Structure 1
Amino acid sequence: MFDYETLKLIWWVLVGVLLIGFALTDGFDLGAAMLMPFVGRNDNERRVVINTIAPHWDGNQVWLITAGGALFAAWPLVYSAAFSGLYWALLLVLFALFVRPVGFDYRSKLENTRWRQSWDWGLFVGGLVPSLVFGVAFGNLLLGVPFQFDDTLRSSYQGNFWQLLSPFGLLAGVVSLSMLGLHGGSWLMMRTEGAIARRSRRATQGLSLVFLLAFIGAGAWLLFGGIQGLAITSTFDPGAALNPLAKTVAATNPGWTANYHAHSLTVIAPLLGIFGGLLALLGASAGQGRTAFLGSSLAIVGALCTAGFALFPFVMPSSLDPASSLTVWDAVSSHKTLVIMLIAATIFVPLILCYTLWCYAKMWGKVTTAHIEHNPHGLY
């Protein structure tokens, strides 16, 4: 079996894969829900949008649940520090996600215009809030989270919810919002036709431009905006069980570029994000939904890998006490726990992937207003 150092790296990769899997699958239904009030101009058109995502949204959230479980088991210190310090932000996401199952299931139960419009905007909020908050959270990881550990490794958080909404944090939120929005728009281009597809096409074009500007702008801010990164300056054994406080950390400027200088291949990640945004823009301009969806998928992979490569080996940097920052090397569970989890992941992650692909294959096809009119009570 793998040694401890290798297992630490494997779980850094696996948590990243789960987060990317969540963004690729649940991302398009969050994006489609955000666009629904704008691309659907009447009740039947909005039901078309809902029925392109309703059969899949709950299965897509398995990736989020799995990522949360992996975070708890593989990086317990990160889980405890993040979920206690970012409590209100995560609670906001949770309540927004609560709206989704109720909205999908009960929206069409009553043939009342005000009732349905209320749930339409509820689903819009349920798509917008998580998309925005997840981006803001990533932005604050790059800025550093104001927490620290005491000698008994109990964490204390010195910030508040409003401090998360810094200019750079909000810019990262715009990156996430536009990225998932264009992912949802390209999905609707593939799964709808007529007026809905045309409006989705225009939305995808606009959101592609916003994503490209925000993503490049965030990168420029990191390079030239005075944001400091962190680097471990003390020697340590990455294959040992480490105390998070037993390292020396120094600030670097410009921030979070060391890995890109040391490993030139990592520059592929931001280039992939830009290429994906451009491909989505070109695909939408040409009316090619599949090309646009491929582009938005590549943009998601590139954007998340860009953040991951920049932060490595840090997982949760501390702006309050850099030595308390949590890394891939010192925030993990025991060797035995990582081995057991790896065995479970080797079995279940491919099963989840295969089942997800099978569901999409069986339920593939365009949803039309005629389909809704002929099945008024059998669809969402």
Structure 2
Amino acid sequence: MDLIPFDYATLRLVWWLLLGVLLIGFAIMDGFDLGVAALLPFTARSDDERRVVLNTIGPVWEGNQIWLVLGGGAIFAAWPPLYAVSFSGFYIAMILILFALILRPVGFTFRSQISNPRWRSVWDWALFVSGAVPALVFGVAVGNVLQGVPFRLDDTLRPFYEGNFFQLLNPFALLAGLVSLSMLVMHGAGMLVWKTEGPIQARARTYGGLAALAVIALFLLAGLWVWIGIDGYVITSAVVGDGPSNPLAKTVEMQAGAWLAAYTTRPWTMAAPILGLAGAAIAFLAFLARREVLPFLASAVSILGIISTVGLAMFPVILPSSIDPRSSLTVFDASSSHYTLWMMVLATVVFLPIVLAYTAFVYRVMRGKVTAASVADNHHSY
């Protein structure tokens, strides 16, 4: 371990930050794919218009999914207990997300194979489901994490999940799901305004503006709910940053308003919710002002702020337990070994720039508007 230039606590913080970067990257890069798919039946009225909408994301959606793969891989490798509890406890929700995401490649592949309008309409609605359902369920999962997940660890650190799928569908979690859905619809509308023109662009502006207003209202409502109705988690024992990964070695208490205590102890964290609200407000004004690129950029800022709000408010907790607070997982007691985290940093330093360079290259090649004429002229179009 003497060859590792960073101590254990620092690497744990680094991977907490990297996990946040990957989740935000997924929400921004694949989020507009989900938003565009969710808007498909509403922004496109004819088959030609629907083909235009699909081809705004057709060349890039597969590459954007790498952010989801990277996020899941990072959780598996850097935070094994978090992976074990969340992917088993949210098993049915994960299956629902995967089923919806599977509809996306199937829909893109089969939609244009037959020119029958009914056939294409069925796949159009399948693509709508592939966008709206994951956007909603991801938010529901976050809402449940903020409330605490019903799991416990035994003396051998084996996790036991004691909830069920229908418990996930509680009022606050559904509100968080609506925040997520409206946020990604806003982002998808920003992409359509950027990449299309004419009636599709006009409809996207309308729906994008409405989604931006919904983001502001729902995010504020969720914050108020957290303030007055949801207990947070406070570590009452010493936080040992370089100690062994044993969640049961600490003591934790649930306290009213604890999730908002970060704004008192770390005032700079107020920047996160401010960015979330300001980004949505700027996106709304940009939609009204008929700007083309600004709505997308502003919605990306809003996504950054909203996701960061959750992570910063909960730090250092990453998965609280509602039935045994001591079992809650934190940045400092649920990670992989010191050596594993360091090896993963080296791998990230090598491969993340490759992903970013490839992504930048693809978007440069595919720049420009998507029109009905360009779709008709390109035999590779969907």
Q: TM-score higher than 0.5 here?
A: yes
Whether the 8 Å CA contact 1:222–1:255 is kept in 2: the answer is no
Which whole-Å deviations, capped at 9, do the CAs of 1:105-127 have from their partners, x for residues lacking one?
11111111111111000000000
CA distance in 1, matches of 2:295, 2:367: 17
Whether the 8 Å CA contact 1:136–1:173 is kept in 2: the answer is yes
Match of 1:108 among 108, 112, 116: 112
Question: Normalising by the residue count of structure 2, what TM-score does the alignment of the two structures yield?
Answer: 0.98
Q: Which residue of 1 aligns with 2:279?
A: 276
Which runs of 5 or more residues in structure 2 are unaligned? none
Query: How many percent identity over aligned positions?
Result: 54
Match of 1:262 among 236, 259, 265: 265
CA distance in 1, matches of 2:380, 2:237: 63
1:25 matched to 2:56? The reply is: no
1:164 matched to 2:174? The reply is: no
Q: Which residue of 2 aligns with 1:201?
A: 205
1:5-24 maps to which residues of 2 (within 5 A)?
5-24=9-28
Match of 1:287 among 290, 293, 302: 290
CA distance in 1, matches of 2:41, 2:360: 28
1:1-380 maps to which residues of 2 (within 5 A)?
1-224=5-228, 226-375=229-378, 377-380=379-382
Which whole-Å deviations, capped at 9, do the CAs of 1:30-52 have from their partners, x for residues lacking one?
00000011100011100000000
Whether the 8 Å CA contact 1:243–1:330 is kept in 2: the answer is yes
Which whole-Å deviations, capped at 9, do the CAs of 1:103-154 have from their partners, x for residues lacking one?
1111111111111111000000000111001001111110000000111111
Whether the 8 Å CA contact 1:145–1:317 is kept in 2: the answer is yes
CA distance in 1, matches of 2:375, 2:364: 21
Cα deviation, residue 242, structure 1? 3.3
CA RMSD of aligned residues (A): 0.8
How many residues are paired up?
378
CA distance in 2, matches of 1:237, 1:256: 20
Question: Normalising by the residue count of structure 1, what TM-score does the alignment of the two structures yield?
Answer: 0.98
Whether the 8 Å CA contact 1:136–1:170 is kept in 2: the answer is yes
SS of the residue corresponding to residue 152 of structure 2 reads strand
Give the counterpart letter for 2:289 in structure 1.
A
SS of the residue corresponding to residue 248 of structure 2 reads coil
Which whole-Å deviations, capped at 9, do the CAs of 1:8-59 have from their partners, x for residues lacking one?
0000000000001101100001000000111000111000000000100010
Which range is displaced more, 126-135 or 248-257?
Answer: 248-257
CA distance in 1, matches of 2:121, 2:42: 12
CA distance in 1, matches of 2:282, 2:221: 19
Cα deviation, residue 288, structure 1? 0.6
Which runs of 5 or more residues in structure 1 are unaligned? none
Whether the 8 Å CA contact 1:32–1:187 is kept in 2: the answer is yes
